[in-house]
Amino acid sequence: MTIDSGWHGSLQLIYANREDSTHVASSKAQAPLKIQRSLYPEGKAVCHNVILHTAGGIVGGDRLSLDIQLQPQTQALITTASAGKIYRTNGLEARQTTHVKVATGARLEWLPQETIVFEQAMYQQDMRIELAPGATWLGWEITRFGRSARGEQFLQGNWRSQTEIWQEGQPLWIDRQWLPGSEASFHGTHGLGGCPVVGSFAFVGQAVEAEFIEKARSLWTNDMGDFGVTRLQSGLLCRYRGHSTTAVRQWFVEVWRLIRLSFLGCSGCVPRVWGVS
């Protein structure tokens, strides 16, 4: 690696089912990405994994690639070891690309910890999920723009995020977000409105009734931001804009627990690495 080229890291995971137990059948990692050993806090059916970024954060010029495949009847929960950090650019854009395939009867829960985008960072992330019929996806993204504790705001830089979920060649959900660093974007009504934290949580793969949407809305119990819940073609979408990563994560966790109990027939087993109960 050179200072000019940045990290070109990658992670490839294949999950397989053996005797009703999900395990990582194949794993290939290139620094700075690394996967820690598999954990089974809720039994052998669900494999929990933690992704570690050994460099501590992403800088301009970094290129990270993740390829994750779930074979039929597998269940995996993937999170990260700590909050992600996107550092100020050295003049180059950083990029992360994630490609996921979820086979029939399989389920992936993609629940990374929050990402902090530093002032003057330039970053683009692209995620494409391909669901087979009968497959399920749960995923969230929580982002803080600027190191708020230091009084930093995201007034320079560029952030893009694109998530696409497809099934048999048809789009189930496509979400494109763009925040150019500026006074208007950070403080404007049609931007962040002065709120440094945004979050999105999607559940895709099963039909959700209107009554369940109301239940998800009722789980929001504080006034530390704006929130919304939308019914998707095959699932639901939660949005947040506010000042607290703690508040949005608590809400997302409660919605996640409700989804697990109502649709997946299991309770919400919180990964120990989150440090919450």
What is the per-residue DSSP string for 16-41? EEETTEEEEEEEEEETTEEEPPPB-B
Look at residue 22 in the predicted model and tell me its pLDDT: 97
pLDDT by residue (tens digit) across 16-37? 999 999 999 999 999 999 999 9
Mean pLDDT value of segment 95-100? 98
Which secondary-structure segment (H or E) carries 227?
A: strand 225-232
Look at residue 2 in the predicted model and tell me its pLDDT: 42
What gap in Å lies between CA 86 and CA 121, rounded to an integer?
6
Indicate if the pLDDT at residue 135 is higher than 50: yes
Output the pTM of the full model: 0.94
Per DSSP, the three-state class of 68 is strand
Indicate if the pLDDT at residue 254 is higher than 90: yes
35: left (phi over 0), alpha (psi -120 to 50) or beta: beta
The per-residue pLDDT of the chain, averaged, comes to 93
* Percent of the chain scoring above 70 in pLDDT: 97
Range from 127-131, 205-209, 267-271 carrying the lowest mean pLDDT = 267-271
Indicate if the pLDDT at residue 3 is higher than 60: no
Mean pLDDT value of segment 227-239? 95
Indicate if the pLDDT at residue 259 is higher than 50: yes
Contacts of 88 (CB under 8 A, 6+ apart): 118, 119, 120, 121, 157
